[in-house]
Chain A
């Protein structure tokens, strides 16, 4: 049983998804999906403990030996991503009961849970697989299900957002597919570890360069790297709240993980940063994304849209850490993947509570809402402080590591920039707080229903995440130890 945990991690939600269609009744399906998500989370925690206590786990599917069969690899990097994805999925489930019921047509609820589990299976698969083509398949499983999830939003704009995401996402995945095809033509293998070995003498080949370009741009589209992020704001804004929580916490991070896997494990550090100008490229897109998207976020009138643009900006921090091309920078990136998943899903959870009670995430409808929903807004403030990077919150830890990595590298202007962009985050988070705490309720548009505090089934998950933000802000030893080891593993591999 224990030996088969890596495959169970993916198979469980994958098989549970069609079972949801058979169960059909919304509450029953919800209960079933919750149990599956919690089990998946438990498996990923066990895997993380196993990996931290010993060697990376290699699981050969159907006992087919490695370069021929598909192999699942659980090392400290993938175990961390697995815990993040399944953890957010599990926490969002209790929240989904009320939130999804209020935002999705009742007769489509069971399909929503089906797609949710399918998306979870896809994201976990990307994190665990050691096969480049298998990664493409899981990428498409998660993408197709997330297009559907986004289109479930009540507003018709959700349909248009889902369609735009579908077109851009498919182009991204197809570019990745071309890259993998070229690598296969060159080496005759798809196993990542085997690819790294066979590619090593062929790194000067023009085909390698072409493949590299296709893969970076393709995955860049999926992870919303700055100029390729255009699908993201609409998708996060118009999707149902629980979908925003899940996707904002996981989807772009998993794509970034896939890019890191390919960059470090297949092409190798030396190729990326010495032969190719990846440091410069990542630094430029990171800084541009950070500054421009933070500025755009300041002018939005919809809280979900503010958070969506902030997500694109925050991806800039993660890319900046990678651009340093040092173990410290990479560790800061991985830490920020973890912390940002916590804080952004916490913010979207709080917004989900607001949407349930006020029916809108427009700033104008939220005037003085803090008096009626004090607990929800308090959670929003905690996660908002974490986003800004105030000490004693999780967001501070990753920014601290990022600034230290910048100084260690000697890139002083970037250290200053990280602090300066945090101040932009203060401004856009403050706009929400100012409206919610200091405007009178009479500022709301006429006819707005009176709001009451969100139900416990939604407050508890929100506060679990908010508390985690404080917990990992005060005691970051566990994530720091995991990411330190993960960064070392990535830097050492293929280098």
Chain B
């Protein structure tokens, strides 16, 4: 390719985003604003209306969740930011697992732990001889808050913890020699310097809570609706497309504003403070008091972050209640029955296929997503890495899908692609395309550092030695980007497998993905349905867990960015 052709390469990502991002969003926009009169009356109706209540609940739960996440995450950030101890890498990895877990898996996990059929309730019922579950958490605000804390604690721990770890210890030492007590050193030096990092983490957590969908839908139950859930219900349950479009518009404005705030803050904390490598800044746990505190923090984190997933796995292989057929005689214990049932299609009305086939459908989607997102992502990241003026301009545009909620994207797809000129309703590519959009920012962000690490001298050296530009690309760029490409593929794979927001709106009844199947099982009564939901969740968790481990072990330069 020649120099003149290079800008033409931009056409690839730009046309993709143009057709599959801007066109659907434009369709939402025109749809919601098409009938101005109706929109105005809707806006007048806004106060104490459905929209207003939904918006205030969305903000309210996001605020609460963010505050709770900070309360749980900051001690963890302190621990990994200032101390060196055995098992720290393991703790980092373990606490990162929830972040990449699909919402349906997390919902199943909390259900298996705290739900009416969960470990704690069934245990209490048996121990205290109760007729009904004593602990009502699922379908209350508490379940939503717990799941949000579960999800986002790792963001606080990593963003703040890594920033803390790179803080020059000389700053606090200087304060101490200048007469500051340990407390005033913390309040006047450490806290103000950490402030922007905490705020950045808080905004990011708030964005995730604000756009929370699966957690609210499954764990919150019918009484709660965030903007996301409202869009979903208005579209699929009430077919009120104009209202859904208006909700999308509000959601879009909010998330774009929040994303803008986040990127501004994130740029501020990446300002080159004089930072140190973590090696020099971290102390050992010496005093018994710090040891005790560390143990409390670690056990607390593991209890919160690992317990629901552990409960899920174990519960999926344990029979704890009577089946409908065996009233009275209750045999409990280890069983693989829930997994066996996945191969049988008992309820023709619920599915057209056996549950295990949903895994095939999900894997096919995931593979297509990998192909699409790497095919687009590798050249796009390569262009971005060159840091031309054009690249600096286009970078935020390419990251825009990050600031758009999955449900909004799904709704945009419904509006835009179920009519000519581009009718994709029946296309097997519809879901992979939506997943590619969701995964695209992550794919780009994992490829970019690798591209940027290739020094131009390497390319020049190869060129001087007689390689054609295409050959330079093949011999220098591709091998060096290879590892990052695996990480990017793992992101695409994990995101596609677990994606629920857009999928819930777009998946066709005859081709349900795994998350959709889990959601349907969870909303059906009966111990067998419950067990199958948990078994499918466990399988999904194993797939996503492997993807995440691949990301954790292969990514490079992973300080600061999530």
Q: Do A and B bind each other?
A: no
B residues contacting A by CB (< 8 A) are none
A residues contacting B by CB (< 8 A) are none
